[in-house]
Structure 1
């Protein structure tokens, strides 16, 4: 048994050593240090919630050098922040498949003097879900370990070194992995735009009664709803055939991947039911 433990210990150490060149520490002017990972050459991913609200950061690389990084963009809906800086050359990190419950997961970050490492079991796996801020997350991966503040934004690794995702703190302080596929989608958009577009109807809504729908109390001129023919007083009752009971039901359908899609909204106007096709726009920034 001791020999088996020594072998396992060495395997863990080798895995962290292989990941170490891509692990960074990120510090803002307001102080505090968190982890990040080099996604590919010149791009570092970190956890949005763990970073201070700044545009420039100091990043500490594996060789001990300190590099100034600028914020390329944030996606609060998936908890992904993207930084641009000068890094060594790296290819894309190989993505691991969604792990099975009970499999090992290793969290790797960077501290002041060395990499940071912890491990635990994947305690729960769930289907794709939408965050409280409207982000589409490809799988719910809950980790059975305590995530330190310094390790937040680090890499969640499979035992073969594949990247499961980004280590973040979720609801009730649970440690979660934002799947690598979700991070990749956010990185692609942030690299191109500097932000992640959100869906927009251009209508102010209020919930009617106890889940009877959402009534339009204001229409933005030249907005998607106005162009589709909405008027004040229209009561939204369905969205693509699914019942709408509240304003929240509408908001939950205006995620990051809905811009440009056409939705069929069931509407009551003066007691008469009809359907209106609306092309979802991009929410204005600012």
Structure 2
């Protein structure tokens, strides 16, 4: 049965009104995050930056870590137009989540959803807030869904979510809103300006750790490494999966690798059976969950294969 033109118009109008209502409701929990940095040799030069943030829990704002510089003076512009200072409670570059604290100000908290319910083709909204222009929106669809993955710096992301929509300037750190009108995660720009969503479950995990510890525990080997290419003859002789590996150029005294007997000049080729061809491969295996865990490290020493058992330590805290 085909719809009449009036029925189609009515359906489109209802959809349009529902979208506008959703943007208004969710936008009431979205802030503009403003940074200002002072630097320069001749006097003070001011650089302003802006992103968006989500009122995730009462007094807690989450935003994109990559949009904030450590030396910045951070303020947020609220939905009512006020601009107020905030403090950085903690940040995790590996998941691109920064947590800000807002003191003694009440306004709507976002209704958090679940990225696990998303399917390819679902409608998606991205919201952002500017200092002067208020809330803005971009609409598209979920274009790709995948399993849990690790960022280049080793962050554990619960689900791969890619959006087919435009993340306008200042949208990073803003919410991804699902068809139910809930915040399924925080948006960020991926490679080649790809629109990615950090799932709400990942954000919650990071927020919990930052609130309790002020930092994210990271696996630590106590090694200095650089990539190396192995000869084809050695690859064949040892039945290696590839020609790649990482050579150890420094071993920290009393660190996890030192205690396991790793030496300068050793070439790591696999960890727990997973081939290693670059230092990024190693870092990707050192998430929060690996601290205290025993790993089987396959290496080459003097042209012969060797396996050692290494207990992953926790990376010492440091000032960045």
Residues 139-150 of structure 1: matches in 2 within 5 Å?
139-150=159-170
Q: Which residue of 2 aligns with 1:14?
A: 21
TM-align CA RMSD: 2.1
CA drift at 1:246: 4.0
The alignment's TM-score, normalised by the length of structure 2, stands at: 0.82
Q: Which residue of 1 aligns with 2:56?
A: 39
Q: Does 1:48 align with 2:65?
A: yes
CA contact (8 A) 1:219 1:226 kept: yes
CA distance in structure 1 between the aligned counterparts of 2:278 and 2:165, rounded to whole angstroms: 37
User: What SS class does the counterpart of residue 290 from structure 2 fall into?
Assistant: coil
User: What SS class does the counterpart of residue 15 from structure 1 fall into?
Assistant: helix
Residues 246-265 of structure 1: matches in 2 within 5 Å?
246-265=278-297
Q: 1:100 aligns with which of 119, 134, 150?
A: 119
Residues 111-122 of structure 1: matches in 2 within 5 Å?
111=130, 112-122=132-142
Q: Does 1:27 align with 2:34?
A: yes
Mean CA deviation greater in 229-238 or 42-51: 229-238
Deviations 1:66-123 (A, max 9, x none): 2210111221111111111123276673322331111100112223243221211111
Q: Which residue of 1 aligns with 2:39?
A: none
Q: Does 1:123 align with 2:143?
A: yes
Q: Does 1:225 align with 2:257?
A: yes
Q: Which residue of 2 aligns with 1:79?
A: 96
CA distance in structure 2 between the aligned counterparts of 1:214 and 1:150, rounded to whole angstroms: 39
**Structure 1 residues 242 and 114, CA, compared in 2 at 3 Å: closer, same or farther?**
closer
Deviations 1:186-230 (A, max 9, x none): 112222233323221112224343425333232111111112222
**Structure 1 residues 118 and 244, CA, compared in 2 at 3 Å: closer, same or farther?**
closer
**Structure 1 residues 55 and 258, CA, compared in 2 at 3 Å: closer, same or farther?**
farther
CA contact (8 A) 1:136 1:255 kept: yes
CA drift at 1:231: 2.4
CA distance in structure 1 between the aligned counterparts of 2:67 and 2:228, rounded to whole angstroms: 38
CA distance in structure 1 between the aligned counterparts of 2:148 and 2:61, rounded to whole angstroms: 25
Mean CA deviation greater in 5-14 or 196-205: 196-205
CA contact (8 A) 1:40 1:89 kept: no
Q: Larger Cα Rg: Structure 1 or Structure 2? A: 2
CA distance in structure 2 between the aligned counterparts of 1:242 and 1:153, rounded to whole angstroms: 33
Instruction: Number of aligned residue pairs: give it.
Output: 286
Deviations 1:23-56 (A, max 9, x none): 1111112323221111101110111122344353
Q: Which residue of 1 aligns with 2:4?
A: none
Q: Which residue of 1 aligns with 2:197?
A: 177
Q: 1:60 aligns with which of 77, 94, 104?
A: 77
User: What SS class does the counterpart of residue 119 from structure 2 fall into?
Assistant: coil
**Structure 1 residues 212 and 140, CA, compared in 2 at 3 Å: closer, same or farther?**
closer
CA distance in structure 2 between the aligned counterparts of 1:163 and 1:91, rounded to whole angstroms: 11
CA distance in structure 2 between the aligned counterparts of 1:263 and 1:137, rounded to whole angstroms: 21
The alignment's TM-score, normalised by the length of structure 1, stands at: 0.91
CA contact (8 A) 2:49 2:67 kept: no
Instruction: List runs of 5+ in structure 2 lacking aligned partners.
Output: 1-7, 37-46, 231-242
**Structure 1 residues 255 and 12, CA, compared in 2 at 3 Å: closer, same or farther?**
same
Q: 1:207 aligns with which of 212, 216, 227?
A: 227
